[in-house]
Amino acid sequence: MSLTLRTLHPVFAAEVTGIDLARPITPEDIIAIEAAMDEHAVLVFPNQPLTDQQQIDFTRNLGEPEGYNTPGHIRRQAESRLGAGIADFSNLDKSGALISPHDRVWFFKLGDRLWHSDSSFRPIPAKYSLLSGRVIPSWGANTEFADMRAAHDALDDRTKAEVEDLVCEHSLIFSREAIGFTDLTPEERAAFRPVRQRLVRTHPVTGRKSLFLSSHAGTILGWTIPEARMFLRDLTEFATRERFVYSHEWRVNDLVIWDNRTTMHRARRFDHHEVRDVRRTTVAGDVATIEQVE
């Protein structure tokens, strides 16, 4: 099976055709997909009607799936309508009904509309995320991606030197407080305690440097909180300029894969009276950006 790539943006992102992800994948295809991810960071696979198990099976070709028993949401697995190994990023509750716009789960999910990198709030952040579009609203709901490699390359020399050795603290508490959601239990706050991440990462294959920004980042070690947050806001504003951003307009059965080490992303608004059923699997990272302090 021969993969065909079509670039979607001047600096990153590509559409991949010529492969059926529901079928067993050859080692040669895996190598080709990994190489395409290293180059493009975001890959769009159209017309991939996958079951949950097929999505999980394909994900395992790219690495060890990230466990969902570790803290990453206020909704527990027992409250999800999906089985183990796949995360529900829909606006549906366990019964399949629309989540109330006044539900704390809905408020929490709104934080996904901030620019972020998946699992940056974990000691070892995620490698890839894979999102499958099962039901798509008639309006809105795009996912936007920003290339953090291109953003780093475009920094002036003074700022590059300034960010090189900075260390941030990341937590879901920071990103949810940014939208005014503070209704966290003591147990949730303990589970979401901040972790340290370097502000600049180097890709293990390409050697390219990228900014490791996220709405989950709330402090910079050695800086005052107000100055740190203003600096991180300025960096994010720069890194998400149009020249660094690809906006994906979802079609039913799209599968989109992105590299959390080199991109940020965010969900966009849609009519919450319509169903948006998207399901995510995640490939776990294997290297911490910095040693944690207990």
Q: pLDDT of 176-186, one tens digit each?
A: 999 999 999 99
Q: Which residue's entry shows tokens 């549906």? A: 92
Residue 267 located in a structural domain: yes
Residue 294 located in a structural domain: no
* Average pLDDT score over residue span 239-255: 98
pLDDT in the model for residue 272: 94
Q: Please, are residues 166 and 220 in contact by the beta-carbon 8 Å criterion?
A: yes
Which range of residues forms the domain containing residue 176?
A: 4-283
Residue 289 located in a structural domain: no
Q: Please, are residues 88 and 82 in contact by the beta-carbon 8 Å criterion?
A: yes
Residue 288 located in a structural domain: no
Q: What's the structural domain count of the chain?
A: 1
pTM recorded for the entire structure: 0.96
Residue 292 located in a structural domain: no
pLDDT at 1 over 60: no
pLDDT in the model for residue 148: 98
Kindly report, residue by residue over 31-73, the tens digit of the pLDDT: 999 999 999 999 999 999 999 999 999 999 999 999 765 567 7
Residue 238, burial from CB neighbour count under 10 angstroms (0-12, 13-18, 19+): middle
Using alpha carbons, list the distances in angstroms from residue 183 to 107, 160, 186, 187: 9, 37, 10, 12
pLDDT at 77 over 80: no
What's the CATH code of the domain at 278?
3.60.130.10
